[in-house]
């Protein structure tokens, strides 16, 4: 099986001064995941490695750099799923540097979604990297929140999908939610079938966008279902976005890898930063498109 990995930095409006940072961040994430894959690592390990890079980059709405909620605090959601239908998720947690790693520990323990204090307690018990909740507030986001500025470039989830040499697929997501969201709000990111889905027999998907629009159309599972009949992931992704647009209002995007290692993506937002790598490429392909 040909190892493949793709990441996205969120379906959003990317201003001209942020294009380079988005491309660089997505490229670094792919490089981290690709290093895992070519060394014989698993798809889940690659997804975790790539997502951790995006969580540590203040360019993106995940981990450091996440949006602030109505109380001026960072609350984080993340999830990971393997194509064997194993999964783990965490939501509305504070003080966790890399929620994707906690989600993976949950997956390896037993499938479930842990939230708020329960999720934070699990993170401490499993030795996750904890910090003061204030340490995850980036200066730019704090100034925007304090001055009640309109935030146009960081409303959405980041994510990754990978296929390893054994033919195992994995998908991951991580987010800080939406700007000034109500404390305790949980969107699609941590919900299997909505923010992410992976099935070794079909493909893997990670989504991004308006959670309240993604959830009712079960966007990730919808995209996976469209892969049936050997449909190319590009077409399946576009069909999934078209389905969302036909049923609800809102912006969204998705990235896909099928069981053959083919990649695809689609979105109806202004931009979506992506990067990918597969066998035969001499460097990561990264782009931010309108």
Over residues 133-177, the pLDDT tens digits come to 999 998 888 887 877 766 555 457 999 999 999 999 999 999 999
Q: For the packed helices 116-125 and 99-109, what is the interaxial angle rounded to 10 degrees?
A: 80
Biggest CA-to-CA distance, the chain: 51
Q: Is the Cα torsion angle 185, 209, 273, 8 positive or negative in sign?
A: positive
Torsion from C-alpha of 138, 143, 145, 147, nearest 10 degrees: 180
Mean pLDDT of the chain: 94
Cα atoms found within 13 Å of the Cα of residue 130, Cβ hemisphere only: 13
Closest C-alpha among 179, 142, 189, 165 to residue 8: 189
pLDDT value at residue 32: 98
Rounded average pLDDT over 104-125: 97
pLDDT value at residue 7: 98
pLDDT tier for residue 290 given thresholds of 50, 70 and 90: low
Residues sharing a CB contact under 8 Å with residue 280, sequence separation 6 or more, in sequence order = none
pLDDT value at residue 151: 59
H or E segment at 9?
Answer: strand 4-12
Q: Are 284 and 31 in contact (CB under 8 A)?
A: yes
Structure tokens, 290: 């309108």
Residue with the bigger pLDDT between 279 and 42: it is 42
pLDDT tier for residue 1 given thresholds of 50, 70 and 90: confident
Distance of CA 153 to the CA centre of its chain: 16
Distance of CA 142 to the CA centre of its chain: 23
pTM of the entire structure? 0.95
pLDDT value at residue 139: 81
Cα atoms found within 13 Å of the Cα of residue 88, Cβ hemisphere only: 17
pLDDT value at residue 280: 87
pLDDT value at residue 31: 98
pLDDT value at residue 51: 98
Instruction: Note the pLDDT tens digit of each residue in 79-114.
Output: 999 999 999 999 999 999 999 999 999 999 999 999
- The yes-or-no verdict on residue 75 having pLDDT over 80 is yes
Q: Are 10 and 272 in contact (CB under 8 A)?
A: yes
Rounded average pLDDT over 13-38: 95
**What percentage of the chain has pLDDT greater than the value 70?**
97
For 266, the 3-state DSSP assignment is strand
Residues written for the chain = 290
- The yes-or-no verdict on residue 215 having pLDDT over 70 is yes
Q: For the packed helices 43-55 and 19-38, what is the interaxial angle rounded to 10 degrees?
A: 150
- The yes-or-no verdict on residue 188 having pLDDT over 70 is yes
- Strand pairing class (169-175; 158-163): antiparallel
pLDDT value at residue 259: 97
Domains of the chain: 4-289 (3.60.20.30)
Q: Are 171 and 80 in contact (CB under 8 A)?
A: yes
Structure tokens, 17: 């001064």
pLDDT value at residue 155: 55
Catalytic residues: 157
From residue 57, alpha-carbon distances to 29, 51, 96, 212, 224 in Å are 10, 10, 15, 26, 29
For 191, the 3-state DSSP assignment is coil
Cα atoms found within 13 Å of the Cα of residue 92, Cβ hemisphere only: 16
pLDDT value at residue 42: 98
pLDDT value at residue 84: 97
């Amino acid at each position: 099986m040909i190892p493949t990995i793709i990441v996205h930095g969120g379906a959003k409006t990317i201003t001209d001064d942020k294009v380079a940072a988005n491309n660089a961040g997505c490229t670094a994430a792919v490089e981290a995941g690709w290093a895992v894959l070519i060394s014989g690592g698993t798809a889940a390990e690659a997804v975790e490695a790539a997502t951790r890079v995006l969580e540590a980059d203040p360019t993106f709405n995940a981990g450091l750099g996440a949006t602030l909620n109505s109380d001026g605090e960072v609350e984080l959601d993340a999830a990971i799923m393997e194509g064997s239908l194993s999964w783990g998720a965490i939501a509305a947690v504070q003080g966790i540097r890399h929620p994707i790693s906690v989600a993976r520990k949950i997956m390896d323990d037993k499938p479930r979604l842990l939230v708020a204090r329960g999720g934070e307690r699990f993170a401490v018990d499993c030795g996750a990297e904890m910090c003061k909740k204030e340490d995850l507030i980036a200066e730019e986001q704090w100034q925007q929140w304090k001055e009640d500025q309109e935030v146009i470039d960081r409303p959405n989830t980041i994510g990754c999908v990978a296929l390893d040499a054994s033919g195992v697929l994995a998908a991951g997501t991580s987010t800080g939610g939406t700007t000034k969201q109500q404390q305790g709000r949980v969107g699609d990111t941590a919900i299997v079938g909505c923010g992410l889905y992976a099935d070794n027999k079909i493909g893997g998907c990670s989504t991004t966008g308006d959670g309240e629009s993604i959830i009712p159309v079960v966007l990730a599972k919808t995209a996976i279902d469209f892969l049936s009949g050997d449909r190319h992931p590009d077409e399946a992704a576009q069909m999934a976005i078209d389905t969302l647009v036909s049923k609800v209002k809102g912006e969204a995007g998705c990235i896909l890898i099928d069981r053959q290692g083919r990649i695809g993506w689609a979105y109806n937002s202004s931009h979506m930063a992506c990067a990918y790598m597969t066998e035969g490429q001499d460097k990561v392909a990264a782009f931010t498109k309108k």
